[in-house]
Homo-oligomer: A and B are copies of this chain.
Amino acid sequence: MKARIYITLKTGVLDPQGKAVHHALGALGFEEAQDVRQGKYIEMEVADGTPRARVEEMCERLLANTVIENYRVELDGETALGDQGA
């Protein structure tokens, strides 16, 4: 079963990496890019039947720094999504 985890910086947290990408896009002539935030995307193969709560625990304990980051978990076969750690 596949789990997809999206980790993004919380609103208000400075994102120098995103700023650098934004600046580089502007230098290349991509003026339509107005704001860029860079985060992490983790694809994980988990044992079938792993509950969502278990994957969220992985985020809380290791994958995301919940002081400054939000995470979102998608599990194959699930449709309901929600931002966590907000």
Contact = CB atoms under 8 A, between A and B. Distances in A.
Interface of A: 6-8, 18, 21, 24-25, 28, 30-47, 50, 54, 57-58, 61-63
Nearest to A31: B47
- The count of identical subunits is 2
A61 B31 CA distance: 14
Contacts of A61: 28
B47 A6 contact: no
Contact of A41 (B33, B40, B58): B40
Contacts of A63: 21
A38 B40 contact: yes
A57 B31 CA distance: 13
A44, A46, A47, A61: residue with the most chain B Cβ atoms closer than 10 Å: A44
